[in-house]
Structure formats: C-alpha cells, structure tokens
Structure 1
Amino acid sequence: MGEGEEDCRTIPAIDLKKFPDAEEYRKLREASETWGCFRLVNHMIPPALMSEMKSVVRSLLDLPMEIKKQNKDVIAGSGYMAPSKVNPLYEALGLYDLGSGQAVDSFCSRLNASSYQRDVIEKYAQAVYEQIVDIGKRLAESLGLADSDYLKGWPCQFRINKYNFTPESVGSSGVQLHTDSGFLTILQDDEDVGGLEVMDKSGAFVAVDPCPGTLLVNLGDVAKAWSNGRLCNVKHRVQCRDATIRISVATFLLGPKEEAVVDAPAEFVDPEHPRLYVPFTYEDYRKLRLSTKLQAGEALALMPSPS
C-alpha cells in the first residue's frame, strides 16, 4: 500500500512486516475478537501474481457453461455454482484442497486450462496456502497459545467468484448475508469494484471498499467454536453498487480433516469461560449448515453444548 492507504481502512489493518512486534499481535487479537475481519498489508503474495490471477479467474468464468460444469463437487458445494434464485447475479468455480498438487491439476484439466493459466493457478495456490497458514499461526500466538501448529493438514478450498452486475441490479444483493463455515478466509477482492459489507458488533453494515494490493481476512464459524467463543465469526454480504463485472478470489481454511474434531484448546477453557461446544467434525457442521439452510452462523447454536 502506498499513498492514500488510510482512505480504505474502514476495518483494522494488520501489517505483516511489523511482526513480531507485541503491539501488532495486540491489534491482531483485538481485530479478530471485535470485528472478525481485517486488512492484511505487506503480505506474501506478489502484486503481479494477484493481477495475473484476477485475469485468469475472469477468463475461466467466461468459459462456455458446458466446460464450467466439468468443475464437479468434491464435497457438496465445492464445484461450479451457477447463478441461482437466491443469488442470481453470482457464479463461481471451486477447487477443494488446494494444498494438493493432484487436486489443482484435476481442476485445471477439467477446465481445459492453458499452460499459462495452470502456471498462474499453481503459483497462486502455493502462495496463498503459505499465507493462510502463516496468519493462522500468528492468530494462535496473539491469543497466547503455545501450540501454533494446530492447523496442520487442514484442507483449503478456493472459490473464484464473478458477479454479473447490470444497471437493473444496482441496489440489490450480490450474495446474501452469511458467515463462512470454516476457520479463516483470505479474500482477494476486486481492486476496482466495491460492494462487500461486513456487520459490526452493533449490527450495522460497514462498507469494505477496495484497497489495491491488500488482502482481506475473515474469520468463520469454526474459529468461533475453536476459540470457545472468543473470536468473532463476521457476518458479511455483497451488494451491487455498480453496473459492471466484479471478480474476487476467496481461499478458505476449512477445519480439521475427516474424523479430527474442532475442539477448544484447554487454554481457552476456565471457570469464567466454560466450554461452549462439544467437539465436532467440520464435515458434520457443514452438513448441518446445508440441511438447515442457516448460513449466518445460527447453526452453531444447534450444535450440542456440554451438559
């Protein structure tokens, strides 16, 4: 970020260059507990790679429908999403487990990606995976957790998004209000087109305007459960403000793999903070969200609590 960087800081900004400064750790913890989201500046993903990835995403989402439909689900909802009644302006391609070279290769092959497109996707997947694990570790450290390797082996998912905003759609919803189901999301939002809004503690919507060269981090439902209620799972939505195409790249760090459970570390449980949730698997929670259609964190209240 260069001149004018203060203009787009409606939410807290965390500067990775300032670590291991204690003040930056304090800011990270405060942003994660109060907002559940923050801007990441001086991050690991080169600006040129971000720009290349955006153009590759745009070209993949401009492919004919029959090719996009080859992007099949690995887990429910992880493949191609066509415009729907709920979100008619939105479509997306998905890649489950971007830490796996085989999964990345399969994603590219099904979409007939060129060698250039494949190269950009592979480089971006590696860079964003390293960044998401790094910020997850720093978050654990900011909470005073001795073991910052709790994320080991947790799968990541890509969702590359296109919003087809038209003059008629200005003022309407691009994506409905929701929380992310997983632990942590890194979003490369469109540097030209706004529309993202997050809900603050008072329930008011705050516009998160584009901030070129930065990344946005959101915390999801798994983070709230894992932290025994300390971290905020931020509610957010996308509104159509301009009659144009909006592109974004979301990377989700989901939760523990398979039978491993989301379980608050002992450090987060004490007489003043009794355990809020019985340990659960990410897959069980994801299925509950899908079956109840409760997309804004409400499904957490349906999870068993310790008696």
Structure 2
Amino acid sequence: MEPSGVPVIDMQDFAGLAEKLVKACEEWGCFRLINHGVSEKLMLEMKAVTRSFLDLPADIKLRNVSPVEGKGYTPPNQASPFFEGMSVYDMASPGAVDNFCDQLDASAHQRETLSRYSQALYDLAQDLGRKLLEGMGLKGDLFSEWPCQLKLNKYNYSPQSVGQTGAVMHSDPGFLTILQDDEIIGGLEAVNKFTGELVPVDPMPGTLVINVGDIAKVWSNGRFCNVKHRVQCYEAKIRTSLALFVLGPRDTKVETRLELVDSEYPNLYVPFNFEEYRTLRTTTKAPTGGALELFRVTS
C-alpha cells in the first residue's frame, strides 16, 4: 500500500497501465498519478496564478460569472465558511479561458499560464478516457466533446478552523476529476469503500489526484466506485487546489455502456440527463451520490 493509502499509478509505466487504471477506479475510485505529462513548473505557476486571482478584491471576483447557474465565483458561505472558488465552465470551448480572463482583467502572464495549464489538463483527461476504454476492452474517445469545468480553490484557514471541515463529505457528480491538491498543506480524505474508513490522501509534490464520480458509476454499470471524500483543516495556513471536472455528455443522456451489460451483469440504471441529475443532487440533499438510486432499474 502506498504512503497515502490510495494507489499511485505511473503513467509512463506502460505495462498493464490501462488495467491498473480500471482496477483503481473499481477498488478505490481515487488514486494518484505520477509522470502524468503536466510539468511541475507549470503546476506551480498555475498555483501562484490561482492565488493571485483569489486574492483579488471581492467586487472583482464577483465578475466571474457563468451561463450555468452556480458555476462562477463561489464566496465563503454557511456550508463552507473557509472555502472560496472560481470557475471556468466548459473550459475547452472556444473563448472560455479568454472570457474568464477578461472578467478579471487578467495580465498577459496569467492568461498565458491558465491557457497552457487548461490545455495540459484537458489533454490528460482525454488520454485517461482512452486508457479506461482500453482497460475495459473497448475503443474510442470516451470524453470527446464533453464539457469540462476548471475550478480554482482557496481554503482560508485560521487557528480557529483547525480540526473543522473545509469541504463537506461528497462525491463528484461528473465522470472524473483531475485534482492538483496543495503540495504542502494536506486535508483531503477519501472513504475506503470496503471498510468505510476515512483515509488521508497525503500530499505528493508534482502529482495529480484522480477522483471518480457518479456518472462513471452509471457508465460502468456499477463497477467503478464514486469515491466519497472531504477536505479537513489540518493547520492554520492557506490551502490552494485546482480541479478539472470532466462532467457528462453534452447532447446525449448518461447511460451504461452497452458492452458492459449482459445476462450476468444486467443494466442497473435507466438513462438520464446530466444537468437534471446535478440539480436533483442539490434538491434531494444527496451530495454523496444517493440520488443515483432514483435512476435504478426496477424489476
């Protein structure tokens, strides 16, 4: 077992790589990637840019708006009093990064760094999608044309917040998340699905965390684990993270991959619209994926 408890996968160790990724999705739903192709220098530059954006005055941060409700600037609130974030929704669509930068009067350096970082993470997401298909004996581009959301996060921890929760227990609604967690300040904890134990996901500089979400559980016919996780305050310091959320299909419904359904493994879920599901998670107060049960196939 790796020091953090969750698997650590080397993207440059090609022998059995696709199968290792699938196994990690099935057993943990959370794992670290090393040698993933995103340079550590770019990751550190983007962390600094994230801090510079989130250190802006509140009136400027509030300019970060999105056509999709709730996908712009998130100020500290009652549920997450230490957390604030900014979002670039549908990050890979033409003009999305430039529009975000225009909202905040970003400098040329901030704009160029965000553009390079966004492309690097998007390319990695596409590669992961192809590898997961390969590991399950399938072919194609899994995430082609799927919207992605890049979120820049800051946890404003004080001495009074030590031991408290920075982000409540949840699963991610989309297919998977590529997370650059703080390489110094820990706090991410994942639930071991076999024991129910909360396992600290300790920082490892230069690595990325993959969290598997609700949509992946449906797509895989229940094989993939939509990992439950939270962020705790371990120490009174500013914690910064960045997350690329690979959401759900744009113009089609979320449904189980047909090749993963047979007489031994009958289909578990009926098709549904991703954005409607995300809304349902909120209205039913089911942040850990419980709303998926509403789409279970009934006999």
TM class, shorter-chain normalised?
over 0.9
Which segment is superposed worse, 259-268 or 210-219?
A: 259-268
- In the other structure, the counterpart of 2:224 is 231
- In the other structure, the counterpart of 2:285 is 293
Could you say if the C-alpha distance between residues 76 and 303 of structure 1 is closer, same or farther in structure 2, counting changes exceeding 3 Å? farther
Alignment of 1:6-25 (within 5 A): 8-19=3-14, 21-22=15-16, 24-25=17-18
Distance 1:34 1:76 in 2: 34
Distance 2:67 2:114 in 1: 18
Deviations 1:132-177 (A, max 9, x none): 11111111211222x3313210011011100001100100000000
- In the other structure, the counterpart of 1:119 is 112
**Is the CA contact (8 Å cut-off) linking 2:177 and 2:243 kept in structure 1?**
yes
> Is residue 183 of structure 2 the alignment partner of residue 188 of structure 1?
no
Deviations 1:174-209 (A, max 9, x none): 000000000010000000100000000111100001
Distance 1:116 1:78 in 2: 24
Distance 2:215 2:38 in 1: 25
- In the other structure, the counterpart of 1:80 is 73
Report the CA distance between 1:25 and its aligned residue: 2.8
Alignment of 1:263-278 (within 5 A): 263-278=255-270
Select the residue among 205, 208, 228 that pairs with 1:212: 205
- In the other structure, the counterpart of 1:56 is 49
- In the other structure, the counterpart of 1:3 is none
Name structure 1 gaps, 5 residues minimum.
Answer: 1-5
- In the other structure, the counterpart of 1:69 is 62
Partner-residue secondary structure (3-state), 1:162: strand
Q: Kindly, what percent of the aligned residue pairs are identical?
A: 51
**Is the CA contact (8 Å cut-off) linking 2:84 and 2:154 kept in structure 1?**
yes
**Is the CA contact (8 Å cut-off) linking 2:126 and 2:142 kept in structure 1?**
no
Distance 2:221 2:37 in 1: 29
Query: Which contiguous aligned blocks of 4+ residues in structure 1 show a shift greater than 6 angstroms?
Result: none
Deviations 1:79-129 (A, max 9, x none): 110101111000000110111231111100001111100000000001000
Amino acid at match of 1:276: L
Distance 1:13 1:148 in 2: 25
Select the residue among 242, 265, 273 that pairs with 1:281: 273
Q: How many corresponding residue pairs?
A: 298
Partner-residue secondary structure (3-state), 1:95: strand
Select the residue among 155, 170, 173 that pairs with 2:165: 173
Distance 1:148 1:214 in 2: 26
**Is the CA contact (8 Å cut-off) linking 1:136 and 1:184 kept in structure 2?**
no
TM-score by length of 2: 0.97
> Is residue 140 of structure 2 the alignment partner of residue 148 of structure 1?
yes
- In the other structure, the counterpart of 2:248 is 255
Report the CA distance between 1:263 and its aligned residue: 1.6
Partner-residue secondary structure (3-state), 1:118: helix
Deviations 1:250-289 (A, max 9, x none): 00000100x3111212211012211111111211111111
Could you say if the C-alpha distance between residues 99 and 277 of structure 1 is closer, same or farther in structure 2, counting changes exceeding 3 Å? same
Distance 1:35 1:153 in 2: 27
Distance 2:224 2:181 in 1: 23
Report the CA distance between 1:14 and its aligned residue: 1.2
- In the other structure, the counterpart of 2:125 is 132
Name structure 2 gaps, 5 residues minimum.
Answer: none
**Is the CA contact (8 Å cut-off) linking 1:81 and 1:91 kept in structure 2?**
yes
Distance 2:258 2:284 in 1: 30
Could you say if the C-alpha distance between residues 152 and 165 of structure 1 is closer, same or farther in structure 2, counting changes exceeding 3 Å? same
**Is the CA contact (8 Å cut-off) linking 2:2 and 2:8 kept in structure 1?**
no
**Is the CA contact (8 Å cut-off) linking 1:275 and 1:306 kept in structure 2?**
no
Partner-residue secondary structure (3-state), 2:12: helix
